[in-house]
Structure 1
Amino acid sequence: MDSAIQAIEFLARSEHRVAALEALSEEPRDRRDLRDATGASDPTIGRVIRDLEDRSWLAREGARYELTPLGAYVTDRFFELREGMRTGERLREVWRWLPREMEGFAVEHYEDAVVAYPGPNYPYAPVERVTHLLESTASIRGLGTTLYKSGNLDVFCRRVIEGMETEYVYSPPVLRAIVDWNPELTARALGCDNCTVFLHDALPDDSRCGLNVMDDCIGICGHDPETAQLEAVIDTRSPEAREWAEDVYARCRSEARQFDVGELAPDASRSPEGRLRVEPR
């Protein structure tokens, strides 16, 4: 086995070694401090100290122990790996909806992401997350390629009518489905002075996900590639993710055309076959 993998295994199979490095990365500690920080017994913490000293990661200065420069380097890299693996586990169930065409997307900006997707016993997590996000923001900008459920659209329209500052770049089929769902309510909402709507015929990742920029976070809404129905929500407060989302939105908005509210009238002559539809709940 590669020696680097062996070193990772050496740490990963001992929670006390990891806890000791975590404590020592904050400040030097004496033996009692390390025992308290790790929850290890005195004999165990003795073995941990010897193990770390044998690898030149730890040195004693008087009664206290501190990381060597090598130990600080190894600790930083190990914790970076741990955070990367945590992010991987967090996003594992929603990987298929992560952007691929939105330039600049980086997984590492989603270490603190909140992920909502239908579980085996409760399918409504994405719907409830969208409602929470809509109720928690005073403004929203987005790329509208995802069809929300009817309950989410009710909340969206109500929030717009209540004054939520709204600017959206829609895929035409998605906007048409929303208008068909409730022509009167959508005309009222999208006709508000605080709501500006654009259309774009080729939004990036339009078969995979949409994007929202809200007051305190940004959100990715994953959807079914055929029906555009909401499948998952991934949102984060990461400043780096926000900067990325702002750039993506600005580029798409600059390419979009203004939407005329007069186009909201439903067209009865169009065939319903192959048309996107809003689903209940």
Structure 2
Amino acid sequence: MDRVLAEMEFLARSANRGDVLTLVAEAPHDRQALARETGASQPTLGRILRDFEERNWVRATEGGYTATATGRLVAAGLTELSESLAAELHLREVSEWLPTDGLGFDLGRLGEATITTPTQTRPSAPISRVIELIEAAHRVRIFSHAFNEQTLAAVVEWVADGGQFEGVFSAAAIDAVAHETGLRGQLQQLQAADRARIRVIDDAIPLAVTVAGDTVSLLLRDDDGRLQAAVDTDDPEVEVWATDRHGRYWESARPLAESDLAIDD
């Protein structure tokens, strides 16, 4: 383990080392090309290449320096670590609210996601972002454990303008709506629309996910249910996961009935 840590430290001490190894793993490069692409001086490149040759990570060829099999192995790991750390840094401000279970995709896929958080001047910014995505789409699919009055009102209006909506909600979410007169009326209006279909699932739904066209949005809440962020991405792998998860919930759910919105006296 000490030797592994020593090699990691060796690479981490100079950004040029990682850049050079990645470049020669992609294609042969001579020293002039490496200097142009990395900005490193020739003396620095000489030291780096000698160190790499001692480790048998690179070799000199007629076409320039190229990575060996083990050099490509290290370069691939370095790239993966770099991408993972970049994703973690991007998600760090919302990491405590990301679900530990329920995400069926590599979290690194959110490394370039759009993150929208509440501010003093725009406390409902995450909801506004989701509504913006909904209004730009022709078809929207949702699976969620909660309703938001602002979002529900926007969906009702969007469906009236021709949008196609398919939502799966937990029974707990429907029950909460049944006890809010305004929300109940909006949901009944949505249920009556020709282009909207709503289903109910008795099991818990751990996430609030919206698939608006090709974009997937996750609403993140804290332990007290307060909305903390919206995270949206058009990454294809995330879209496949969200579409598949929605389909699974849809198949196991039942259509929303008027009795679901009845209030016991």
For the aligned pair, the TM-score class normalised by the smaller chain equals 0.7 to 0.9
How far 1:163 sits from its partner (Å)? 1.5
What is the aligned partner in structure 1 of residue 95 from structure 2? 95
Q: Is the 8 A contact 1:138 1:165 kept in 2?
A: yes
Q: Secondary structure at the residue paired with 1:247? A: helix
Indicate yes or no: 2:163 matched with 1:164: yes
Q: Is the 8 A contact 1:143 1:249 kept in 2?
A: yes
Q: Secondary structure at the residue paired with 2:56? A: coil
Give aligned pairs, total.
Answer: 263
How far 1:195 sits from its partner (Å)? 0.4
Q: Is the 8 A contact 2:199 2:255 kept in 1?
A: yes
Q: Is the 8 A contact 1:102 1:248 kept in 2?
A: no
What is the aligned partner in structure 2 of residue 221 from structure 1? 219
| Worse overlay, 153-162 or 115-124 | 115-124
Q: Give me the whole-angstrom Cα distance separating, in 1, the residues matched to 2:201 and 2:41.
A: 63
Q: Give me the whole-angstrom Cα distance separating, in 1, the residues matched to 2:156 and 2:222.
A: 23
State the superposition RMSD in angstroms: 2.9
| Percent of residue pairs bearing the same amino acid type | 30
How far 1:124 sits from its partner (Å)? 4.5
- After superposition, the C-alpha distances for 1:208-261 in whole angstroms (9 at most, x for unaligned) are x312223212222122444x4432222232333223222322222222221136
**Unmatched tracts of structure 1, length 5 or more:** 271-281
Q: Give me the whole-angstrom Cα distance separating, in 2, the residues matched to 1:10 and 1:128.
A: 46
| Worse overlay, 38-47 or 123-132 | 123-132
Q: Give me the whole-angstrom Cα distance separating, in 2, the residues matched to 1:67 and 1:127.
A: 48
Matches within 5 A, 1:113-128: 113-118=113-118, 123-128=123-128
TM-score normalised over the length of structure 1 = 0.80
Indicate yes or no: 2:196 matched with 1:195: yes
| Worse overlay, 73-82 or 21-30 | 21-30
Q: Is the 8 A contact 2:141 2:167 kept in 1?
A: yes
Q: Is the 8 A contact 2:140 2:211 kept in 1?
A: yes
Q: Give me the whole-angstrom Cα distance separating, in 2, the residues matched to 1:75 and 1:106.
A: 20
Q: Secondary structure at the residue paired with 2:141? A: strand
Indicate yes or no: 2:237 matched with 1:240: yes
What is the aligned partner in structure 2 of residue 37 from structure 1? 37
How far 1:110 sits from its partner (Å)? 3.0
Q: Secondary structure at the residue paired with 1:85? A: helix
What is the aligned partner in structure 2 of residue 11 from structure 1? 11
What is the aligned partner in structure 2 of residue 65 from structure 1? 65
CA gap of 1:45–1:115, structure 2 versus 1, over 3 A, is same
Q: Is the 8 A contact 1:172 1:199 kept in 2?
A: yes
Q: Give me the whole-angstrom Cα distance separating, in 2, the residues matched to 1:21 and 1:146.
A: 49
| Worse overlay, 131-140 or 104-113 | 104-113
- After superposition, the C-alpha distances for 1:111-166 in whole angstroms (9 at most, x for unaligned) are 4333323368864542332133212321111112234362x444322222112110
Q: Give me the whole-angstrom Cα distance separating, in 2, the residues matched to 1:263 and 1:234.
A: 31
Indicate yes or no: 2:83 matched with 1:83: yes
Q: Give me the whole-angstrom Cα distance separating, in 2, the residues matched to 1:60 and 1:217.
A: 46
Q: Secondary structure at the residue paired with 2:148? A: coil
